[in-house]
Amino acid sequence: MLDPRTFPRPPALQQIKKNILIKFKDGQTIASTDRAYWVLETYHPPTYYLPPDSIKLNLTPTSRRTFCEWKGVATYFSFTTPGGEQVDSRAWTYEEPTPTFAEIKDYVSFYADPRWECYVDGELVEPQPGDFYGGWMTSDIVRKSVKGAPGTRGW
């Protein structure tokens, strides 16, 4: 089991050899890779960052930016689903990450979202609770150690 209470602070960046697949419900691939990184941070399930060449969508940068004290400024994207729905700010990147996170420059992370399916080594993930954090919950994550649900943001 992976217990997010024991994950490091500041977070750790690690390249992983897991198969990451994101696809729309109709089966169309959004991204697929075995060259992802994950970020492990205290009280968060892993957040996965995929190489830009693994993304099969046209991503358009939005004006939304957020700041992470560890990784720097995130740029968010919009894209269109196969059904024509525009999706805003459910994928992001770090165009100029801090030196510690330089390896994920331009890598893309996606929220787990009901409009698509995210898999880690064939396992369908659940989104991290709440609407702010982008971690992916797999069956090996200790649930009681994850922040994001109401009342946990300040852990």
User: What beta strand segments (E) does 1-155 contain?
Assistant: 12-15, 20-24, 29-33, 37-40, 47-49, 60-68, 72-80, 86-93, 108-110, 116-120, 123-124, 126-127, 136-137
pLDDT of 111-154, one tens digit each? 999 999 999 999 999 999 988 899 999 999 999 999 998 877 66
pLDDT for 155? 57
**3-7, 38-42, 128-132: segment of lowest average pLDDT:** 128-132
Q: pTM for the complete prediction?
A: 0.95
CATH class as words, domain 4-145: mainly beta
pLDDT for 154? 63
Domain boundaries, the chain: 4-145
